[in-house]
Amino acid sequence: MIKKFYPSSLYNFLRFIRSNPVNARILDCGAGGPDPKLAFFYENGFETYGIDISEDQLEATEDYCKKHNIKLNVTKGDMRSIPFESKFFGYVYSYLSMVHLSKNETAQAINEIHRVLKQGGLCYLNFLSKYDQGYNEKKESKPGEVIDKYENEEYLHSYYDDDELDGYFQNFEILYKEKRYILKGKYFNTGRTCILDYIVKKL
């Protein structure tokens, strides 16, 4: 077992999963990186799959898997067009990856998640609140969308009002919704201060 702590929101999602058994397959959209959250579900007995569009992030995950002798099944893929058949997964989540999509792309990705989920399957997603320290209305490129620059690269971040996202889940039942404030420190090294968490069930 890998000895480490994972974000509390993943433990919360696991609690909902345990009370809503569908199948053992779970997909992480945006799974790449040197600290894959998918390992948490691997350790808890799931058949894990992940997608990421970044080659660098995929390589970092591969190194992590080799180091810990595990297989997470993370491949190249885009959450706006998920490369799996319909109704394949019991569970899907994305941990602070969807924040980089535009609002139109977010709706597209949520529709794709709905497609690949089995009936009654659960999804956990988190988003940036407009109360987050990174939101700057004066620098919006579109309403709620801000393009940040870091080391000569541009990064899109989308920010939402408290109830704005509810309309994105018309084909789901919203089971859990939380506005998470970070009063001191950072949100697992992301620098974020206000997150919107959703756990939804496919109707």
CA nearest neighbour of 97 among 50, 134, 162, 47: 50
pLDDT at 1 over 60: no
SS3 183: coil
Strands 194-202 and 117-129, bridge-based pairing: antiparallel
What are the structural domains of the chain? Answer: 8-130+165-202 (3.40.50.150)
Least confident range of 76-90, 108-122, 151-165:
151-165
pLDDT at 66: 96
Least confident range of 10-24, 117-131, 183-197:
183-197
Residue pair 25/90 in contact (Cβ under 8 Å)? The answer is: yes
| Average pLDDT estimate for 47-69 | 96
pLDDT at 33 over 70: yes
Residue pair 148/155 in contact (Cβ under 8 Å)? The answer is: yes
**SS3 letters for 52-101?**
ECCHHHHHHHHHHHHHHCCCCCEEECECCECCCCCCCEEEEEECCCHHHC
pTM of the model: 0.94
Write the pLDDT tens digit of every residue in 86-120: 999 999 999 999 999 999 999 999 999 999 999 99
Q: How confident is the model at residue 83 (pLDDT cuts 50, 70, 90)?
A: very high
